[in-house]
Amino acid sequence: GTRRWRVERRHDIDAFTPGLLSLYESLNPSEEHKAKQRQLIESLTNSVSKEWPNAQLHLYGSCANSFGNSHSDVDVCLQIDTAAEENIAELLLALAETLRKDDFDNVEAITSARVPIVKIADPGSGLSCDICVNNLFAVANTKLLKDYAQIDERLLQLAFIVKHWAKLRGVNETYRGTLSSYAYVLMCISFLQQREPKILPCLQAMEPTYTLVVDGTECAYFDQVDQLKDFCAENKESIAELLWAFFHYWAFHHDYRNDVISVRMGNTISKQEKNWTTRVGNDRHLICIEDPFETSHDLGRVVDRQTIRVLREEFERAATILQYDDDPCVALFEPYDYES
């Protein structure tokens, strides 16, 4: 169909900023939720350290990257020195056994996933928790996201609202071929890096002050973000303007055929230079989001022919609502009904 190019932003868009800001406030996790998380982490630490006294427990994902809401799970990474012959699957099975003995509920080892984990679902607190072993890339990218979030609050506002939208519209489900929360946060960072004037810098393009070497790959960037508080002072765009522009970018301006978004470069790069132009195995590269540290990893790999259509239709729907609707905050977050 015909796409609406270069629509003028509606003149009254800023009227929706207060509503969006109060939505953002309401999505922040409650003190009660945070206390439950701390409690779960404490009992996990006790249980693990009995069996593996030298293990280190790192939090990653949204309980540590500041993008978590009241529904977010707890993601934990155990750093354990393993003998070379002991594989991760065996370790996870032993961990599951230990946790069952210590009365954790619904303990399940999932050893066949790309990142093998032990899952716990605690019906008492309503929390679920994923535990992986020695996945230090996740620890590094969690810190990167957290550091970006400290530079300008508009990143947290935009990402919370986009994640909320994606959950309600049914496009935040990797097992169904749509995108992870992590992918949406990277899309928000990349978008703010490309505003004129810029709202976020590209931390990986600056002099590194933080380095973590993971499996021979150097994860390095400038992490003294308190020095960057004035970085974004020139750009005065409000959250309503940014949300409008975010959805318009993904609906009408992103070049799906040729471009990869790259937080690492602070810009888009070409599929050609990454060799992401043809399908290899199950990687179709229909929407390309480069992982900042595991650069051969496309977070859009889960998207297929059918779900790319669903995603693009959802971006267009959101853009159109923000442009024309009298009360966009209602229509935008209307839950998608799978039955109809």
Cβ 61 to ligand ATP shortest distance, Å:
3
* Residue 63: DSSP 8-state: G
Counting residues that bind ligand ATP (by CB under 6 A) gives 18
Strands in the chain per DSSP E: 56-60, 74-79, 108-110, 117-122, 127-133, 210-214, 217-221, 259-262, 267-270, 288-290
Which member of 157, 181, 193, 323 binds ligand ATP (CB under 6 A)? 181
Identify what 178 binds: Mg ion, ligand ATP, none; CB under 5 to 8 Å per kind. none
**67 sits near ligand ATP (criterion: CB under 6 A):** yes
Let me know if 171 is exposed, middle or buried by CB neighbors in 10 A (0-12, 13-18, 19+).
buried
Cβ 73 to Mg ion shortest distance, Å:
5
**62 sits near Mg ion (criterion: CB under 5 A):** yes
Cβ 8 to ligand ATP shortest distance, Å:
34
CB atoms within 10 A of CB 59: 17
Q: Report strand pairing: 117-122 vs 217-221.
A: unpaired
Nearer Cβ to ligand ATP (141/178): 141
**147 sits near ligand ATP (criterion: CB under 6 A):** no
Identify what 66 binds: Mg ion, ligand ATP, none; CB under 5 to 8 Å per kind. none
Contact at 8 Å (CB) between 202 and 265? yes
C-alpha closest to that of 144 among 227, 210, 72: 210
> x/- string (CB under 6 A) for ligand ATP, residues 295-334?
--x-x-----------------------------------
Which member of 23, 40, 75, 161 binds Mg ion (CB under 5 A)? 75
Sheet holding 117-122, edge to edge: 56-60, 74-79, 127-133, 117-122, 108-110
H-helix or E-strand containing 271?
Answer: helix 271-274
Contacts to Mg ion by CB under 5 A: 61-62, 73, 75
Q: Which residues sit at the interface with ligand ATP, rule CB under 6 A? A: 60-62, 65, 67-68, 72-73, 75, 138, 141-142, 180-182, 291, 297, 299
